[in-house]
Structure 1
Amino acid sequence: MAVREENLDDVISSLIDDDGDDTNEANGLPGFPEVSGEVDEHPITLTDRAAIQIRKIKENENLDSELYLRVAVEGGGCSGLSYKLGFDIKTDDDDIYESHGLEVIVDPKHIIYLNGITIDYPDGLDARGFTFENPNASEACGCGSSFAV
């Protein structure tokens, strides 16, 4: 019995689903499940603690006033998508949302995965760091940094 050795390109091609059934390439991230629905008027919410910490980081790092807080998602993590939070320059494609007086930028392709999210910054003994409460997540990893839809 002959064993057929598969070409790596053939294996990769077989893993890519080109029919678009489980992706939302026009409005979402290619290769990720489609999340539908209307975008909230205020889709990104920062808690008081998160807003205070973001202001503190920006001040302590002497960051340029032209830098905005960016909230994003990317593939990876134990649940499929990972949250990304950082300071970045606004592009023409970005949408701006306001929470607690802070302007938050989001690529429109990401908002469908983040719509309704609350970002907190617990600083107690049992938890410290940014946390994400996402109503779109069907499951999340134990550390809270990745999710699935």
Structure 2
Amino acid sequence: MSLPKLSVMTVSPAAAERVRGLLANAVAGAGLRVSIEKGGCAGMSYKMDISEPRRGDEVIDFEGGRVIVDAKAVLYLLGTTMDVKNDRFSSSFVFENPNQTSACGCGESVELKPADPAQLESA
């Protein structure tokens, strides 16, 4: 199953499958909310929780799942691909974000710059 390229963020098939599993017992209309919070040694980190969309959020619906991009995080996540990284002992979401300028050594936080919407329109 192929997922369409979306305006804010792309969800890989592996990430979509993981989101479907996380939402299996959630209330109807809920999704995996992705937001950005200040903190960590690089200044920002990705935060995820299960909730319903709020005013201004971007909603990415796909078969059996939903990712909600927090309204305050949209400019930081434009052009991002959400994927899953699996290794022997863990599985985690990873973000290939063109707005990331650096990351801390421990991998827990990142430095992000907001996307310039004018540059996106000319692309």
Shorter-chain TM-score range: 0.7 to 0.9
Show the counterpart of 2:16.
51
Identity %: 37
Aligned match of 1:64 = 27
CA gap 1:41/1:122 in 2 versus in 1, 3 angstroms = closer
**1:24-43 residue pairs with structure 2 within 5 A?**
41-43=6-8
TM-score by length of 2: 0.73
Q: Is the counterpart of residue 137 in structure 1 residue 100 in structure 2?
A: yes
Structure with the largest fraction of strand = 2
CA-atom RMSD, angstroms? 2.3
Aligned length: 108
Partner deviation per Cα, 1:17-73 (whole Å, 9 max, x = no partner)? xxxxxxxxxxxxxxxxxxxxxxx95221111111111111222xx111221121100
SS of the residue 2:74 aligns to: helix
In structure 2, the gaps of 5 or more residues are 113-123
Runs of 4+, deviation exceeding 4 Å:
none
Supply the distance in 2 between the matched residues of 1:116 and 1:65 (Cα, whole angstroms): 28
Q: Which residue of 2 aligns with 1:109?
A: 72
**TM-score, normalisation: structure 1:** 0.62
